[in-house]
Amino acid sequence: MITITKKENRVLNQIKYFQAEYRDGVPSNILKLDLSMSETEFKDILTNLEDKGLISKNDNYIKANAVDAQINAVESRAEVLREDLNQTEKKTFELITNLASEGFVSRHFLEGNLLYGDLKLSNLQMYQIIVSLENKGLIKKIQKKDGEYYNINT
């Protein structure tokens, strides 16, 4: 199953719609005008769709690829990332969400729970999962007056 955002789904559907008219690929400028999106947002969405193998770009022409996998459209980019998490990452993110008060959790408190709590992760596993969640934009390390915290991005 491939998970995409509603905006990505909208762009993909428009590409499929225009593809009947433009056999060699849909001109990107026509697609962008039809979708009424900013240049940055449009390029980001095209890049995400191409990375997932749903479209292919050739110069300024875009074609939808035939995909056998089921496509699941969700509301936001954060939901897409949550869908792509492995089991341990999902459990860790759930734990962080449960531990967080007002969207923040102390770094030391979190690390203690990951190492000695239900998950019983090793130091390396804990570090890799936290870095993975940071790279996916689900959590962010911040500095407060009383120490380091993780902020949950929703």
Q: What is the pLDDT of residues 39-55, one digit of tens each?
A: 888 888 898 888 888 99
Question: Which residue(s) pair with 55 in the sheet?
Answer: 64
Structure-token pair, residue 17: 């719609």
For residue 154, what pLDDT is reported? 61
More reliable by pLDDT, 103 or 69: 103
More reliable by pLDDT, 78 or 45: 45
Looking from the CA of 106 toward its CB, the CA atoms found within 13 Å total 7
**Which residue type sits at 43?**
K
Q: What is the pLDDT of residues 5-33, one digit of tens each?
A: 888 888 999 999 998 898 889 999 889 88
What whole-number distance in Å separates Cα of residue 59 and Cα of residue 7? 22
Matching residue, tokens 């999106």: 37
Alpha helices of the chain — where are they, by DSSP H? 6-19, 28-35, 39-51, 77-83, 87-99, 107-116, 123-135
CA distances from 100 to 15, 52, 82, 139, 153 (A): 41, 32, 17, 11, 11
Give the best-scoring range by mean pLDDT among 87-91, 94-98, 150-154: 94-98
For residue 149, what pLDDT is reported? 92
